[in-house]
Structure 1
Amino acid sequence: MQPPSDPAAARLLTTRELMDFYSVSNWTVNRWVQMGCPVEPVRLRGRRFDLAAVRTWHSMGEPGG
């Protein structure tokens, strides 16, 4: 898959955006996080994902990659 080509691609993605990018469920994203997927915590129990870091994690042979 290609990352988004707009300038917003450099921003951190929400869980929903990551789910849409990989066409996976929330359960799958939660499982990835438990397995070591890089995540950026944000205030109020939120989290965001750096797409480049997630893609690197997947390319290293992590599940779902």
Structure 2
Amino acid sequence: MYKKIVLFILLIVSVEASSQCAMCKAVVEGGNESVAEGVNNGITYLMVFPYVLVGVLSYFIYRHKKISKN
């Protein structure tokens, strides 16, 4: 079960996100392609941190339960 969860998280993180909110889309429509790419990279950068935090928290919970079991 643990391996499936880790695999699922890795798949989510590795997928390149190209979505934009309404405000970002309005700004990008007036710019060139490099501006759009920069906005998408920024969104992806901000999206990664919650997954990393959940992963780290899950690891510490797993480790704590493993130590408590022994």
Compute the TM-score of the two structures, normalised by the length of structure 2.
Answer: 0.24
Give the number of the structure whose residues are more often helix, by fraction: 2
The structure with the larger Rg is 2
Give the number of the structure whose residues are more often strand, by fraction: 1
